[in-house]
Structure 1
Amino acid sequence: MSEIDRIQNVTIVGIGTQGSMIAFRNAIYGKRVTGYGRSEESIATCRRKIDKWLAHFVGQGRLTQEMADAARGRISYATTLEAACKNADLVVENVPEKIEVKQDVFRQLDKVCPPHCCLNSNTSSLLMSDIYRDVSDWRRTMTFSVDHDDPIRNNYLEMMWNPSTSEQTKQAAMAHYHTLGFEPVVTEREIKGYSINRVWRAVKRECLYLWANGYTDPAEFDRGWMIEWNTNIGPFKLMDLIGLQTIYNIENSYYAASGDERDKPPAKLKELIDAGHLGMKSGQGFYSDYDTEAGNLEVEQK
């Protein structure tokens, strides 16, 4: 079997904001998808999001109703990792950006996944050598980061190999993500935050500093950013989309690694989170009045 045909069964572990979008994209490109959620509530939320996205695509003429129904039919759900992973060719992990959480997931995945299954972590800032510490066969592991703006519509994806990633795994991963319409950018050596994502992180850190110290208003900054860089979204709304708890966890991971106070997320960000203002998924973050079910398709387009 050629590498382009090898990955047909994809398991998504963690079906929150990013996981739901990745499940959706795999399904509309013909993959059989199993979404793992710890509760029926999380599964129901994922179903509602995917139903809205499918309806949106049908309304735009990007899918026929028949195609949308077929994509929906390719998605199943499970509340145990054993059931979710038993037939997986690829597992994509999308749990919170906390090293101990990801390590625990991969300890379990190492036991329940078929030997041929590729293991893939969607992480913005953590190192593979930490995430996969307890995985028995590193040859089948790699990490990736998708476009946090809109991995449903946008085609950016950054792959990163570890020194043990096999050529077979590399080829299978690249073939798979190409079949999903992505244009993978490869970071050849392991580094915290990949390469392009490290540049985004530098922008994000400076934006948080300017906001927390009263130098700029998020909406006004984003307006200037979109004019200058000809984008359809600014850094503050993008952070809302990603989720402010995730942003806080990422910044904390850099601070833990460096010990540099400049890497420490501002207390004002923690105050937003403690108030329940988590970004788009909670309806309010730097901005307010989001449609919490529609997800990122509500972000203003060019």
Structure 2
Amino acid sequence: MGIQLSQRVVKIRRLDFTSIEERGIFMSEVDRIQNVAIVGIGTQGSMIAFRNALYGKRVTGYGRSEEAIAVCRGKIDKWLAHFVAQGRLDKAEADGVRERIAFSTSLENVCKNADLVVENVPEKIEVKQEVFRQLDELCPTGCFLNSNTSSLLMSDIYKDVSDRRRAMTFSVDHDDPIRNNYLEMMWNPSTSQETKEAALAHYRTLGFEPIVTEREIKGYSINRVWRAVKRECLYLWANGYTEPAEFDRGWMMEWNTNIGPFKLMDLIGLQTIYNIENSYYAASGEERDKPPAKLKEMIDAGHLGMKSGQGFYSGYDTEAGNLEVEK
């Protein structure tokens, strides 16, 4: 595969909803992935970069501009300060995390030493297809390719990728890569057994507990149910049946969670939510799948959720990102 293999015993430091806990869990893993390239360092990409570096991976993030890189650095610095203040990391550990993250505006430089590329560009099929076409050309022979997508199929994304590389692809859907151990992972018709084993080993060493969808389907498994909840929430809100805070209050009491659907949509980003809903609408052609015009009006007004400071809720610290949820 072109990647140095080493057998080691990894102590998993698992993240729960509010803290890093030492649970004394040991797993024997084949540690194939040490150098991780993050292509797209927005809301999700910055959190994924942070999580990988937190667990000892060397990370290089691709940003289209120095401004985008500065925003990502600011978020990571704020998260590290938060972890130190709460005693989850000491200063030396936080400095180590920071030192393991580098950035570049050159996609070639970001990919040249990568064992794994995690793509986090907008949820638009043509954008992801173009990125994967470039990754196929730029990445080392043994590099795995992973799309962080909620609603698009890898078999559509990799249409311009070589057959050899297709075997090294898989999809992941993150909920909250900093505060949550949960993620969904999905294989596609080309995913090799070697890729499956490497992907599971990597994400487990990051403290995640992957939920695997064995066959490709739009929206994975659990995320398809979340999508149905999200669609109904948007319908109720857009048609004046409920207010976001009131609905979330009831949801959190009923399901014993610390975040409701509307605040979760703010965390994910409303432009991303809109793109996902449009993806389902394009696939079905059914009017009920069309995202409400009221959501588009919010986005056009610059209310993008936590990343802009205002969405269904207001007053977010745009640098703190999802740490706001803990308040």
State the TM-score bracket (shorter-chain normalisation): over 0.9
Task: State the 1:4 CA deviation.
Answer: 2.7
Q: Which amino acid aligns with 1:42?
A: A
Task: State the 1:298 CA deviation.
Answer: 1.1
Could you say which residue in structure 2 is the equivalent of 1:196? Answer: 222
Map 1:160-175 → 2, pairs under 5 A: 160-175=186-201
Aligned residue for 1:282, secondary structure, equals coil
Match for residue 281 of structure 2 among 245, 255, 262: 255
Match for residue 138 of structure 1 among 147, 163, 166: 166
Q: Which amino acid aligns with 2:115?
A: D
Match for residue 55 of structure 1 among 81, 90, 94: 81
Task: State the 1:153 CA deviation.
Answer: 1.7
Whether 1:39 and 2:65 are equivalent positions in the alignment is yes
CA deviation string 1:100-142 (max 9, x = no partner): 1100100100000001000000000001111111111210000
Task: State the 1:300 CA deviation.
Answer: 3.0
Could you say which residue in structure 2 is the equivalent of 1:7? Answer: 33
Runs of 4+ in 1 over 6 A off after TM superposition: none
If the length of structure 1 is used for normalisation, what is the TM-score? 0.98
Separation (CA, whole Å) in 2 of partners of 1:153 and 1:222: 19
Could you say which residue in structure 2 is the equivalent of 1:214? Answer: 240
Task: State the 1:64 CA deviation.
Answer: 1.0
Separation (CA, whole Å) in 1 of partners of 2:309 and 2:88: 28
Match for residue 151 of structure 2 among 119, 125, 135: 125
Match for residue 183 of structure 1 among 196, 209, 230: 209
* Contact 1:91 1:120 (C-alpha < 8 Å) held by counterparts: yes
Aligned residue for 1:299, secondary structure, equals helix
* Contact 1:4 1:179 (C-alpha < 8 Å) held by counterparts: no
Structure 1's unaligned 5+ residue stretches are: none
Q: Percent same amino acid among aligned pairs?
A: 83
Aligned-pair Cα RMSD in Å: 0.8
Task: State the 1:5 CA deviation.
Answer: 1.6
* Contact 2:155 2:189 (C-alpha < 8 Å) held by counterparts: no
Separation (CA, whole Å) in 2 of partners of 1:27 and 1:69: 11
Separation (CA, whole Å) in 1 of partners of 2:56 and 2:191: 26
Question: Which protein is richer in strand relative to its size?
Answer: 2
Separation (CA, whole Å) in 2 of partners of 1:90 and 1:121: 11
Q: Which amino acid aligns with 1:143?
A: S
Could you say which residue in structure 1 is the equivalent of 2:307? Answer: 281
* Contact 1:13 1:93 (C-alpha < 8 Å) held by counterparts: yes
Aligned residue for 2:60, secondary structure, equals strand
Could you say which residue in structure 2 is the equivalent of 1:268? Answer: 294
